[in-house]
Amino acid sequence: MLTHGIPKMMKLFAGGEIQFADPIGLGATASLVLTVFAEVVCAALILVGFKTKWATYPLIFTMLVAAFVVHADDPIGKKEFALLYAVGYLAISLLGAGKYSVDRK
């Protein structure tokens, strides 16, 4: 997820007018900030295994919005990746952090 979030983060800090979708009506800037938070911060937390279950919730929500709101009119092939990510994050949420995570220590 970091490969998706880091370019968005660069767009956020690049300055100028923000061109980003506003799928849930919060505004383009707020949507971009929340998406960057989920795709960078929460993904990094999952990567190290810190507050893993809590970090999955924004990612699940972001992936479901991507699949069912942003790509609502697209064929299932466009929605498939977001849904696969959402299922993966749901599994992590249910199973928790692994044996070698910060949460375990």
Tell me whether residue 55 is in a domain: yes
Q: Domain range for residue 83?
A: 2-95
For residue 18, what are its two tokens?
A: 């923000």
Give pLDDT tens digits for 7-57. Answer: 889 888 887 777 888 888 888 888 999 999 999 999 999 999 999 999 999
pTM for this prediction: 0.87
The residue to which tokens 């709101």 are assigned: 69
pLDDT score recorded for residue 23: 87
Cα–Cα distance measured from residue 57 to residue 30, given in angstroms and rounded to the nearest whole number: 18
pLDDT score recorded for residue 103: 81
pLDDT score recorded for residue 12: 82
Going by pLDDT thresholds of 50, 70 and 90, the confidence category of residue 72 is confident
Tell me whether residue 104 is in a domain: no
Examine the pLDDT at 105 and tell me if it is beyond 80: no
pLDDT score recorded for residue 35: 92
Tell me whether residue 24 is in a domain: yes
Tell me whether residue 102 is in a domain: no
Tell me whether residue 103 is in a domain: no
The residue to which tokens 């929500």 are assigned: 61
Q: What angle do CA 43, 46, 49 make, to 5 degrees?
A: 155
- The mean pLDDT value of the chain amounts to 90
Tell me whether residue 101 is in a domain: no
Tell me whether residue 31 is in a domain: yes
Q: What angle do CA 29, 37, 86 make, to 5 degrees?
A: 110
Tell me whether residue 88 is in a domain: yes
Using an 8 Å Cβ cutoff, are 47 and 24 in contact?
no
For the chain, the domain total comes to 1
